[in-house]
Amino acid sequence: GSCQGNSVERKIYIPLNKTAPCVRLLNATHQIGCQSSISGDTGVIHVVEKEDDLNWVLSDGPHPPYMILLDGNLFNRRVLLQLKGTSRVSGLAVAIAKPSPPQGFSPGLKCPNDGFGVYSKDYGPQFAHCNKTVWNPVGSGLSYEDFDFPIFLLEDANETQVIKQCYQDHNIPRDGSGPEYPLCAMQLFSHMHAVTSTVTCMRRSSLQSTFSINPEVVCDPLLDYNVWSTLQPINSSGKVDPEKEVIIVATRIDSHSFFWNIAPGAESAVSSFVTHLATAEALHKVSDVHLLQRNVMFTFFQGETFDYIGSSRMVYDMEKDKFPLRLDNIHSFVELNQVALRNNSILWMHTDPVSRMNDTVEAQVRNLLDILSNSSVGANMSLQEAGFSQPLPPSSFQRFLRARHIPGVVLTDHKTAFQNRYYQSMYDTPENILMQYPEGLSPEETLEYVTDTAKSLAEVATVVARALYRLAGGANNTSAIQADPKTVSRMLYGFLIKMNNSWFQSIIKPDLKGILGDVPQHYVAVSSPVNTTYLVQYVLANLTGAVVNLTKEECLSPEKTPNTEIEMYEYAWVQGSLDPNSTSRVPYCVRSTVRLSKALSPAFELRQWGSTEYSTWTESRWKEIRARIFLVASKELEIITLVVGIAILIFSLLATYFINAKADVLFSIPQDPGAVAY
């Protein structure tokens, strides 16, 4: 029969397995986030469901320090700063608010990426630091505070209920006086190795790497890869002809929240990059794209949340001739920002008022705006100008403008402040962009179900694709250019609800099938590439590439195969769909122009860890992150137990000593009376 150990630890502790910690991030000047002490922090649990409950924790309760189980609706700046200022709190476990807080919740900054965009004291000073427009008015800046106690998110409602039950059984104050021991306690472990700033932690890691055989790195730069492809193939190892003009289409593919790797980013990232992917598919289907006088480059930037990591790196590479394109090749720039929450079906076109003071740029921007407006004629939406007196919203385009005056436009669903009330938060979920499915659908039916959100994003993609065709010099009628709402539906389901679905399984390489987790998160992280990057790469290859008749060996080693033009194309051997009659898949080879380029801030390439020009964000390393609850005895009982234990130990030692000393008497062997000595 099977034998199962029943350890003492399992009898004492209940582990909390579905949690997400707040971790420490650092930049050139300071540290943000949370951490526990080196051996974890422990406290008696107190449930806080309304603000009045805080009085017990902050002043009345007789058993500090407390671990607070905080209702998600109270997780705000005012409450957290109260808790930050007291030694009576040892940590915080936050339960997700359901439904999302109606007043909105954004732990990001009111002025995202301030200081790293184009506006400064030297360029449009009247627009610097969001003087003209506060983009994220509900931003509390909580994600950018530094807390010296651990804060964990409880992702599982069942675990939250277990904690509440333990609290109700043991910790509820009776008749105004404190509860009796034993009490229910919680322990949180999230000790961080890095301190102070990126300058300090990178210097320490660098010294360790230089002088130590087993270097202990304390922090890592946030890094990943940008995904890019072109409408007409270009030589990736050479340089594009200086005369060749390219239109860049861009979006970000990362998001963030207060908690590590919890970044659903439905409106802040997914709505725009899914629209961008649908635009790329619609354009690639046009029959005369190879005849267009201008090329189009589809670019997906990673790490933009953290002071434009991806876009600043691409601009840096273009300036240093480390990229096939140069800045001179850029004809114009179209960026898709947050586009899912449109009021009255209006999409706003934002431009840069400073560069438009130049007559040449103004004429090009005017042309760009006219083409976009005309492309929306006949669609169920209209494009309007946000106004000449307003600056650009936070966008990757700003990093290109820092390098040179490029004509460009940023498309958003907001004229001034964001429509998104959950920007960079755990509540920026499919519900935030009004994705709704009928009840009772199987996963496969949900994947294929076309939601209203998918239809409206497909409309945006259609308008943008038609405008790009015109911008690139296309002369034919654009009414046939149409984005597919079914593709948009599949992408929204895969990037927001369930990555591990049949479509994603069929379009990725066999050795990558392990990346398909359940709930998608879009945090840039430090181990690259992250799942989002891989999936954007393979979805883009699937939508814009071609199936070619190559064997597995030829596909995996195209350089050995004639006529593969490996400078122009990338080849991928993908899993394919399941054969309907068996459990095996039908793999095939995809040829596309999709490539990855590094998204690591130039500050780390240049070893300028205190840079104010480039992003300097790093993430601290840690040893373990875990949470558990258990019953704790009173201090008196613990002391009595200790004293009794010590007394028994001393008694045992004395008894052992005396027994040992008198062993010859106590354990002597009696003589046999029958034996006679002569």
Would the pLDDT of 602 be above 70? yes
CA 261/CA 282 separation, integer angstroms: 32
Domain containing residue 32: CATH number: 3.50.30
Q: Indicate the Cα dihedral angle 505, 511, 517, 521, nearest 10°.
A: -100
Q: Is residue 513 part of a domain?
A: yes
Domains in the chain: how many in total? 2
* Bigger pLDDT: 271 vs 214: 271
Would the pLDDT of 7 be above 80? no
Of 257, 490, 462, nearest in space to 339 by CA: 462
Would the pLDDT of 4 be above 90? no
Of the residues 600, 617, 652, the one at which a domain ends: 600
Across the range 393-404, mean pLDDT stands at 97
Domain containing residue 301: CATH number: 3.40.630.10
Residue 172 and residue 71 in one domain: yes
CA 142/CA 409 separation, integer angstroms: 31
Spatial CB neighbours of 207, under 8 Å, sequence gap ≥ 6: none
- Residue 5, token pair as written in the block: 């150990």
Residue 361 and residue 263 in one domain: yes
Amino acid symbol at 671: Q
Average pLDDT, rounded, for the chain: 93
Which strands form 31-32's sheet, in the order they lie side by side? 31-32, 25-26, 618-620, 219-221
pLDDT at 675: 57
Would the pLDDT of 408 be above 80? yes
- Residue 64, token pair as written in the block: 């500090």
Would the pLDDT of 671 be above 70? no
Q: Are 575 and 525 in contact (CB under 8 A)?
A: no
Would the pLDDT of 528 be above 80? no
Across the range 26-30, mean pLDDT stands at 95
Across the range 596-614, mean pLDDT stands at 96
Residue 131 and residue 279 in one domain: no
Would the pLDDT of 1 be above 80? no
Coil, helix or strand for 201? helix
Would the pLDDT of 380 be above 90? no
- Give the position of tokens 């009696």: 670
Would the pLDDT of 577 be above 70? yes
CA 619/CA 198 separation, integer angstroms: 9
Residue 422 and residue 284 in one domain: yes
Beta bridge partners of 151: 92
Q: Is residue 388 part of a domain?
A: yes
Residue 121 and residue 233 in one domain: no
Q: Is residue 242 part of a domain?
A: yes
Range from 72-81, 391-400, 653-662 carrying the lowest mean pLDDT: 653-662
Which DSSP state fits 139?
Answer: B
Would the pLDDT of 672 be above 80? no
Range from 34-43, 255-264, 519-528 carrying the lowest mean pLDDT: 519-528
What value, to the nearest 5°, has the Cα angle with vertex 89 and ends 87 and 93? Answer: 155
Would the pLDDT of 677 be above 70? no
Across the range 454-475, mean pLDDT stands at 95
pLDDT at 581: 80
pLDDT at 674: 62
pLDDT range class, residue 306, cuts 50, 70, 90: very high
Q: Is residue 131 part of a domain?
A: yes
pLDDT at 597: 96
Would the pLDDT of 2 be above 70? no
Residue 231 and residue 116 in one domain: no
Task: Name the burial class of residue 386, with classes exposed (0-12), middle (13-18) and buried (19+) by CB atoms within 10 angstroms of its CB.
Answer: buried
Would the pLDDT of 150 be above 60? yes
> pLDDT tens-digit profile of 237-275?
888 898 999 999 999 999 999 999 899 999 999 999 999
pLDDT at 662: 86
pLDDT at 179: 87
Would the pLDDT of 139 be above 70? yes
Residue 304 and residue 434 in one domain: yes
Across the range 339-343, mean pLDDT stands at 90
Q: How far is CA 194 from the centre of its chain?
A: 20
Q: Is residue 259 part of a domain?
A: yes
pLDDT at 44: 96
pLDDT at 209: 83
Q: Are 19 and 426 in contact (CB under 8 A)?
A: no
Residue 393 and residue 512 in one domain: yes
CA 254/CA 597 separation, integer angstroms: 15
pLDDT range class, residue 3, cuts 50, 70, 90: low
pLDDT at 665: 84
Across the range 604-620, mean pLDDT stands at 96
Residue 127 and residue 250 in one domain: no
Would the pLDDT of 660 be above 80? yes
Task: Name the burial class of residue 114, with classes exposed (0-12), middle (13-18) and buried (19+) by CB atoms within 10 angstroms of its CB.
Answer: middle
Q: Are 265 and 427 in contact (CB under 8 A)?
A: no
CA 25/CA 197 separation, integer angstroms: 9
CA 262/CA 255 separation, integer angstroms: 9
Would the pLDDT of 181 be above 90? no
Q: Indicate the Cα dihedral angle 381, 387, 393, 395, nearest 10°.
A: 70
Residue 186 and residue 237 in one domain: no
Residue 176 and residue 134 in one domain: yes
pLDDT range class, residue 583, cuts 50, 70, 90: confident
Q: Map 358-382 to HEC letters.
A: CHHHHHHHHHHHHHHHHHCCCCCCE
pLDDT at 210: 83
CA 78/CA 248 separation, integer angstroms: 43
Amino acid symbol at 168: Q
Across the range 475-492, mean pLDDT stands at 94
pLDDT at 676: 55
pLDDT at 668: 77
CA 457/CA 435 separation, integer angstroms: 12
Percent of the chain residues past pLDDT 70, beyond the cut: 98
Domain interval for residue 407: 223-496+508-524+595-600
CA 199/CA 31 separation, integer angstroms: 11
Coil, helix or strand for 81? helix
Q: Is residue 544 part of a domain?
A: no
Q: Is residue 666 part of a domain?
A: no
Q: Is residue 642 part of a domain?
A: no
CA 593/CA 582 separation, integer angstroms: 33
Across the range 657-661, mean pLDDT stands at 89
Spatial CB neighbours of 97, under 8 Å, sequence gap ≥ 6: 71, 72, 73, 75, 427
Backbone angles phi, psi at 597, to 5 degrees: -135, 150
pLDDT at 180: 87
* Share in percent of the chain as helix, strand, coil (round to 5): 35, 20, 45
CA 183/CA 174 separation, integer angstroms: 13
Would the pLDDT of 575 be above 80? yes
pLDDT at 663: 84
Residue 155 and residue 231 in one domain: no
Across the range 75-82, mean pLDDT stands at 95
